[in-house]
Structure 1
Amino acid sequence: MATYKLDCNGGSGNSYKLALYLNCAGLDWQPIGVDFAGGQTRDPDWRAGTNTMGEVPVLEVNGQRMSQSGAILIWLAETTGKFAPAGTVERFEALRWILFDNHKFTNNYAMHRFQVSLTAEPVHPAILSFLRSRAEASCAIVDKHLMDRPFVLGERPTIVDFSMAGYMYYPAEETGFDIETDFPALHAWRQRLAGLPGWKPPYELMPVGSSPPVRVVTQTA
């Protein structure tokens, strides 16, 4: 039985943050499928036994269940030493960027992706335009930051890079974004991460659980 079990599904970018970290860190782990599309995370018994917040990912290790990807990444870095920030200054920077990621970068991009292709019906164009503008603003900040450094904190990858990678590898027809064209520094960083031993795309790394069916994107807002 694997040391780390990750409750997840292939369409969850927040789950992918941890799956990618665990795989690139060479840790003994396995994905446990969660039927998100079928409403499993809304089930009272699942919430009572797995995560009262009603979300994936959940990391199970030594009988303990942990939720919230950013907090889990920090815990994993502290307990394994893999991809850990070094020193007081870098630890502060790691926390700062993880909070930015959770509050804006991942949040804005994920919300846009969901409304673009994962809702049952297309949303109003004004809503999609608003969400896209927020995602573009967040991506522009990160793109500028990565213009003069290979990874978010400097010369080597850390937990921050895995946190921010959550939604960066889903296909353009699903996200509505052409990162390579619109954000070249972000794309170059994405390629560097994809060169790490253990890297795999989300649906290959987490071929479990269920996500809402993807609608075909015909145009972006």
Structure 2
Amino acid sequence: MTDYRLHCLGASGNSYKVALYLNCAGLDWEPVGVDFGGGETRTETWRASLNAMGEVPVLETAGRLMSQSGAILLWLAETTGHFAPAADQRFEALRWLLFDNHKFTNNYAMHRVQNCFTADPDAAVLAFLRARVESSFSIAERHLADHRFVLGERPTIVDFSLAGYVFYPASETGFDIAAEYPAIDVWRGRIAALPGWKPPYDMMPVGTSPPLRKA
């Protein structure tokens, strides 16, 4: 059995954050598919056995089950040493992780769900979410214009956290990052150049997501 088992699905950017970390860190891991599209995470059995919060990812290792991608990344950095922030960067790392979970990833992921997984999206809801994405992305764009990685010259768990959804196709997300956010795109390229990088669906060819909305 592998050291780490990640309960996930290819369409989950929060799962991808952890999967990308594990792969780039060279750790022994495997993806375990979750039938999210079929409602598996909403069942009492799944919640009782894996995660009462009903969310992916869930990292299984040494008899432990851990959820919430930001917390998992912190734990992995502290226990393995890979991509850990320097001691004097801990506050800044937490600041960006919380910003990512509350705004950067949150807004982008919600827009993506409405844009490609919702059968009949409300135009006003999409416009509201797009404005929120533009606000949070503009903050990251300004920061990354003069930073190689979020905390400086080397990648840390913060980069893996923010990278969760930026590699999904524009047809899903509704945003052309290369055209609209050049600094984020350059940073995204640096992440993609790391040994072990793969795009989300290749990294996690498991599980099922809700069906994509037909154009």
Aligned ranges for residues 180-219 of structure 1 at < 5 Å?
180-216=178-214
> How far did 1:65 drift?
0.1
Partner of 2:99: 100
Residues 78-132 of structure 1 deviation map (CA, whole Å, 9 limit, x = unaligned)? 0000000011x3011111000000000000000000000011x221111100000
Partner of 1:25: 25
- Identify unmatched segments of 5+ residues in structure 2: none
Aligned ranges for residues 75-154 of structure 1 at < 5 Å?
75-87=75-87, 89-119=88-118, 121-154=119-152
Q: Which secondary structure state, in structure 1, belongs to the residue aligned with residue 190 of structure 2?
A: helix
The total of aligned residue pairs comes to: 215
Residues 168-210 of structure 1 deviation map (CA, whole Å, 9 limit, x = unaligned)? 0000001000000110000000000000000000000000000
Q: Which secondary structure state, in structure 1, belongs to the residue aligned with residue 38 of structure 2?
A: coil
Q: Which secondary structure state, in structure 2, belongs to the residue aligned with residue 148 of structure 1?
A: coil
Structure 1 runs (4+) greater than 2 angstroms displaced: none
| Aligned-partner Cα distance in 1 for 2:158–2:109 | 17
> How far did 1:216 drift?
4.6
Partner of 2:3: 3
> How far did 1:215 drift?
2.0
| Aligned-partner Cα distance in 1 for 2:208–2:31 | 12
Q: Which secondary structure state, in structure 1, belongs to the residue aligned with residue 36 of structure 2?
A: coil
Paired letter, 1:91: R
Calculate the TM-score normalised by the size of structure 2.
0.99
- Identify unmatched segments of 5+ residues in structure 1: none
Residues 22-66 of structure 1 deviation map (CA, whole Å, 9 limit, x = unaligned)? 000000000000000000000101000000000000000001000
Paired letter, 1:115: Q
Paired letter, 2:131: S
Aligned ranges for residues 25-44 of structure 1 at < 5 Å?
25-44=25-44
Is the aligned partner of 1:53 residue 2:43?
Answer: no
| Aligned-partner Cα distance in 2 for 1:216–1:142 | 31
The question of whether the paired residues in 2 share the 8 Å contact of 1:106 and 1:166 is answered with yes
The question of whether the paired residues in 2 share the 8 Å contact of 1:116 and 1:122 is answered with no
